Amino acid sequence: MQTSALASGSSGNCFFIEANNISFLIDAGISCKQICRRLEDLNKKPENLKGIFITHEHSDHIKGVDVLARKFSIPIYLTNKCHDNCMHITSDHSLVNHIEKDKELDFHGIKILPFSKNHDANDPVSFSIVHKDKKISVITDIGIACDNVVKHLKESNIVYFETNHDIQMLENGRYPAYLKKRISGDFGHLSNYAAALCILEHATPKLHHLILSHLSENNNTEEIALKTINGLISTRKDLENLKINISGRHKPTELIHLT
């Protein structure tokens, strides 16, 4: 298995995963042009993509879906309720496939599970991907670390994990009160501290790579996110070999390989 975050942040999210020689995306929240360019940077071809799996209907997760899917005839996978809230996701309805939340599907020999999470969207999901004995989970846009989040964090070798905002930066920032309340609420976005606490309490030595994801452009920095995470989990000696990286807006992360 191999994976890269092509983009992650409040302006766009897109995650590349390949297993069993089958490649696909989780979300396509940047332009088709940028997705193609970033795949090229990884020596990957968009025409080889076998699917685009959608977590929810917010524009930073579906912005590039229509053009990319139609240009390369890529099937789109999302829940029925999510589709109800973004009927414009593509003009080619033959590409749309409905999946069931919390029901595992066999995707070309890969086990993919769309699991429930807390977020202010219509039927939002995160995804876990299993091939042989390896597991990758993409867990962003969560307000709290619910039981599903904890379960998949415990079981995964690679996790893209929401570290959206620094609490003080959000509280002291320029956002209006209603938006601050939404972001920090149970159906908003996880703070650096909440993410670090979840990892401290629930990660296992099975976790090899942690990629901090969905960082806010206005209420976080890479330095603060890393400092918060490292500061808490440094007490876990069994996690001392955990590799921590950050996904960004402007270029893909290096390909991470699981063998």
| Total residue length of the chain | 259
168 and 149 in contact (C-beta within 8 Å)?
A: no
CA distance 142 to 124: 9
Residue 259: pLDDT over 90: no
101, part of any domain? yes
CA distance 114 to 235: 32
254, part of any domain? no
- Structure confidence by residue, pLDDT tens digits, 45-57: 999 999 999 999 9
- Structure confidence by residue, pLDDT tens digits, 2-20: 999 999 998 899 999 999 9
Q: Judging by DSSP bridges, how do beta strands 134-139 and 125-131 pair with one another? A: antiparallel
Which candidate, 5, 37, 54, 1, places its Cα nearest to that of 163?
5
Q: What is the pLDDT of residue 150?
A: 97
- Structure confidence by residue, pLDDT tens digits, 55-76: 999 999 999 999 999 999 999 9
134, part of any domain? yes
Q: What is the pLDDT of residue 10?
A: 86
DSSP 228: H
Q: Determine the average pLDDT of the residues in 144-158.
A: 96
Q: What is the pLDDT of residue 117?
A: 96
Tokens standing for residue 127: 């995804």
Whose tokens are 């940028």? That residue is: 34
252, part of any domain? no
259, part of any domain? no
114, part of any domain? yes
pTM given for the model: 0.96
CATH number at residue 193: 3.60.15.10
CA distance 220 to 141: 15
Tokens standing for residue 200: 């401290």
Range of the domain at 21: 2-247
Residue 88: pLDDT over 90: no
Domain count across the chain: 1
CA distance 247 to 210: 10
175, part of any domain? yes
Q: How confident is the model at residue 86 (pLDDT cuts 50, 70, 90)?
A: confident
